[in-house]
Amino acid sequence: MNTHETVSPPVGVVAARYRPPAGSSDAGRVDLDGTWGFRLFDTVDTGVARDDPGADWDRLEVPGHWQLAGAPDSWPYGTPAYSNLLFPFPIEPPFVPDANPTGEYRRTFTVPDGWPAGGRTLLRFEGVDSWFEVALNGEVVAVSHGSRLPTEVDVTDRLRSGENLLAVRVTQWSAMSYVEDQDQWWLSGIFRSVSLEHRPAGGVDHVRLHTGYDATTGQGTLTVEVESDAEEPVRVEVPELGIDTVAGQSVSTAVEPWSAERPRLYDVVVTAPGERVVLAAGFRTVSIRDGVFLVNDAPVKLRGVNRHEFDPLRGRSVTPERMLEDVLLMKRHHVNAVRTSHYPPHPHFLDLCDRYGLYVVDENDLETHGFLEEGWAGNPVDDPAWEPVLVDRVTRTVRRDAHHPSIVLWSLGNEAGSGCNVAAMVRAVRTLDPTRPVHYEGDFSSDEVDVYSRMYAPTELTELIGRGVDPALQRADADARRRAMPFVLCEYAHAMGNGPGGLSDYDELFDRYPRLMGGFVWEWIDHGLTRKDADGTPFAAYGGDFGELFHDGTFVADGMVLPDRTPSPALREFAAVSAPVRLDTAPDGASLVVRNRQAFRGTDHLAFEWTLHRGHDVLATGTLPGISLAPGERVTVRPPADLPLPAAGRDPLWWTLRAVQPEADALDESWVQTPFTVSTGQLLVGAPVLPPVAHGPARTVERGFAVGPARFDRAGNLRELHGRRVAEFRVDAWRAPTDNDRRSAMWEGPSDQSVWEHSGLHLLAERKVGAGLGPDGEFVVTARTAGPRTRNGFRTTCTWRAVADDPDAVDLHVRIDPEGRWGASIARTGLLLALEVADADATTVDWSGLGPGESYADSRRAAVGGAWRHTVAQWQTNYTHPQENGARRGVTHAALGFADGTSLVVEAGTTRLGARSLTGVELSLRPWSDRALGLAAHPHELVPDGLLWMHLDAAQHGLGSASCGPGVLPNAQLHPAPVELTLRFGV
């Protein structure tokens, strides 16, 4: 008997077939989604008869996961659990524990009046996790698996007039759990739609749609192969092209090709005697030549993301509205490709990719990552007994999805090791569809696949691969084959928390080397499930938040959008880096290079609009005419010669050029929110005027010293600034660790956090060395700041001067000299100032510098110079797991407006880091301390503490991608070096 622990393909099911878009077939269909009867049992042996209607059972919505049935308020059927790599059960394939939650589902239905006579009637399940048994009217008719794959069961001979009872038994664990270990929440149940489908006699049972394109002639070739029991030819029409032919015949005609840039679709009408279907066809050809990946004979770079299906309340049961939201967000942020990690998506998502234009790597429902822990012993991918199951899975994937023009690669799966079944799966794919290349990162030698793939290759290795001089394999034949392939990073730039850093470094390599076809950032969305705490406050939960004893914590929160689909700074950075038309500063620093990086589209649809601005004032505007670039072309532009440059002022003077799409056309659909800014470039045409050096004297007062509005005790501690109590003022070199700081880069060596803690940076304490008046009346405070267990520290000299013509201002010059033997990086270098401020989160911040969002040394492409305004609350990024966030670089002027009507203005003069001169400071503001930020598990746990915490840094360490990949690259690392800061505090 085929049970949940049997290794064999599904039983009692019909052959996999294509899935036409919803509503595109005139065959009968009944939606069985809705409220079903449900009862959960602890084991597979539920003791429930298949003909038990479950009249008094609970009610459960289908599609959905039973663990999320009461979310976010209650969890009546167990809770979700998250693990990344390791199996949450003993490794003993194909067996799973006896404790195996099993759901019994019941649904009654009546075949509707007017249901067509003749033909066949199928039950279709789009997705059930993990193993399930189907019974109709008390009789078992099928058992199936392949959680993210469809199952169809022929029930024609078992239907009865009147009411029919559908019984589905679903297990949480099965033998198939060993091949579905896909770095996500373990969630169970009927999570995609269920329907009753009529297959009419003489209908269109399956379609193979071949739509090639010859870029030389502009001709498209259409061949439609149909599986049907029709006795007469099946008719194929493309009305827009005047095509009227029969299935199996090839027709060529002039067409507009499909690409992600220009997703041109044609309606292909397939008419059999019993059924009419309309498919959306895109004419395009995918090929590889001389190690370069081509679409329609043009080199294409994949600037993509890995996408799990996820909703914070529904898990993998994603609605069409959510799918559309994802696609529109991707298009608006210059994502041009999606890897469907690590299973075929809901078919509607592929319809959207066809329509809006996204290249897709369609991945098979396969991952066996948990076997890695034991050296891949017993791995199904290398076990001949599993070959029928794995070939079945990839066959179902290709047959369901092959008609989609958006799919440009098939992927066998993810992190499933190597072995004999790789070749078997590849043979199955090529038999079904020889027109697309095959991808599988686990085929390290690339013996079977068509593209060379790696995960998280550092930029150094990626460049070697691009040059074709990467380390050789032992087998010369395999090495030669691999070097002739294009290279793709199927995962890179782990977007966990604040990060990734280094996107620009990878993107530059993609542009430089033809062999590099791009990559896919891990990943699209944080999988934070919405739940409520004891007080009813909702928050995004990750591993461990449901009391599970075995979990991988925050590692599920690693996307470029937050769980509610709010774009994170990482997505805005990705958009700026991946812009199809880039505006980059030329080496001369006085001009911009406009680069059209598109493969098929010119720039005639764009306007190049410029502004001359200082602070919030726009001084002049205009448009640069005549920038008409064909794909791949570039041009250098300069500001107009008659630009009205004013006299130098307090704020920087910027010339900003934007490539703007003023209106959408038919192929842009609704994703373009016009006017849509495609890209931004800037030139600094006027440096800010620094405040003159103050020469006013300090004075002694009762119990200390006064310098303008600053008050000090006798030891030199700053106690008051503009009448506000100062809770802390000292040098700082620590930050609340990011997720990337907490982990070792490429799983080697200590993490940045451990390096910083070894240096005592998280427990810095200050010792005043001296305080007194200098020879010119200035107030000089010397100190040493260091952490425990180390001789390393920072020697600091703070020189305070009153501003003679402004009693409300005070100048500060700081010299910070690192002492000791430092072996590695530090988190930041600068000053920490904590002021007593009621309602600190309501404080307004009006600043000149980079903005409007946060920026770091290796994540700054999206930052634009100008003047911006936020509240301190808006200044924060509420990452799913709290951590360092919110830094703004290049700040020359910041005006803080407090809730009580008072203010504080900070101006930055000269900033030096080692031998480098920097513009402004890196400013961070929070209503809580770094320590509180570092200890909080979720954003709602952070509570303002009555202080405004301000960092005035010369620099911060970069972000990197060490949570799963390379750490901070040398060009963004921060090492101890002498620092000088010049600041003015006023009102």
pLDDT in tens, 519-535: 999 999 999 999 999 99
The pLDDT, as a whole number, for residue 746 is 83
Q: Answer whether 727's CB lies under 8 Å from 836's CB.
A: yes
The residue-averaged pLDDT of 76-94 equals: 95
Q: If you write DSSP's letter for every residue of 520-562 in order, what string do you get?
A: EES-SB---EEEE-TTS-EEEE-TTTT--SS--GGGG---SB-
The pLDDT, as a whole number, for residue 408 is 98
CA angle 614, 617, 622 (to 5 degrees): 85
**Which residues, in sequence order, are CB contacts of 779 under 8 Å at separation 6+?**
698, 705, 707, 712, 771, 772, 773, 799, 800, 801
The residue-averaged pLDDT of 159-165 equals: 94
* Sign of the torsion formed by the C-alpha atoms of 383, 385, 391 and 397: negative
Tell me the pLDDT band of 306, cut-offs 50, 70 and 90: very high
Q: Which residues are catalytic?
A: 415, 491
> What is the per-residue pLDDT across 723-777, written as a single tens digit (0 to 9) for each?
999 999 999 999 999 999 999 988 778 999 999 999 999 999 999 999 999 999 9
The residue-averaged pLDDT of 776-797 equals: 96
Provide the residue count of the chain.
987
Q: Answer whether 777's CB lies under 8 Å from 698's CB.
A: yes
CA 685 vs. chain centroid, Å, equals 35
CA dist 682 and 612 (Å) reads 10
Whether the per-residue pLDDT at 822 is higher than 90: the answer is no
> What is the per-residue pLDDT across 486-522, written as a single tens digit (0 to 9) for each?
999 999 999 999 999 999 999 999 999 999 999 999 9
Per DSSP, 161 falls in state S
Q: Which of 142, 137, 145, 185 is nearest to 163 (CA)?
A: 137
- Residue 328, CA distances (Å) to 352, 357, 571, 662, 670 in order: 9, 10, 13, 18, 8
CA dist 524 and 307 (Å) reads 5
What is the rounded (10 degree) CA torsion for 39, 41, 45, 47?
-50
Strands 189-190 and 128-129 turn out to be: antiparallel
The residue-averaged pLDDT of 220-243 equals: 96
The residue-averaged pLDDT of 141-146 equals: 97
> What is the per-residue pLDDT across 591-610, written as a single tens digit (0 to 9) for each?
999 999 999 999 999 999 99
Rg for the chain (alpha carbons), in Å? 31
In the structure encoding, which two tokens stand for residue 135, read together? 């019974």
In the structure encoding, which two tokens stand for residue 361, read together? 């790597």
Q: Within 677-833, where are the H helices?
A: 752-758
Q: Which of 815, 769, 770, 803 is nearest to 698 (CA)?
A: 803
Whether the per-residue pLDDT at 694 is higher than 90: the answer is no
CA dist 214 and 220 (Å) reads 6
Q: Answer whether 852's CB lies under 8 Å from 891's CB.
A: no
The residue-averaged pLDDT of 203-232 equals: 96
Instruction: Tell me which residue has tokens 């440059």.
Output: 645
Q: Encode 483-504: b = buried (16+ Cβ within 10 Å), e = exposed.
A: bebbbbbbbbbbbbbbbbbbbb
The proportion of the chain whose per-residue pLDDT surpasses 90, expressed as a percent, equals 93
The pLDDT, as a whole number, for residue 1 is 59
Q: What is the pTM of this model?
A: 0.97
Mean pLDDT score of the chain, rounded to an integer?
96
Instruction: Tell me which residue has tokens 């559908």.
Output: 166
> What is the per-residue pLDDT across 850-872, written as a single tens digit (0 to 9) for each?
999 999 999 999 999 999 999 99
Whether the per-residue pLDDT at 913 is higher than 70: the answer is yes
The pLDDT, as a whole number, for residue 721 is 97
**Which residues, in sequence order, are CB contacts of 184 under 8 Å at separation 6+?**
82, 308, 310, 316, 527, 556
In the structure encoding, which two tokens stand for residue 469, read together? 């001089």
The phi and psi torsions of 121 (rounded to 5 degrees) equal: -120, 130
Tell me the pLDDT band of 670, cut-offs 50, 70 and 90: confident
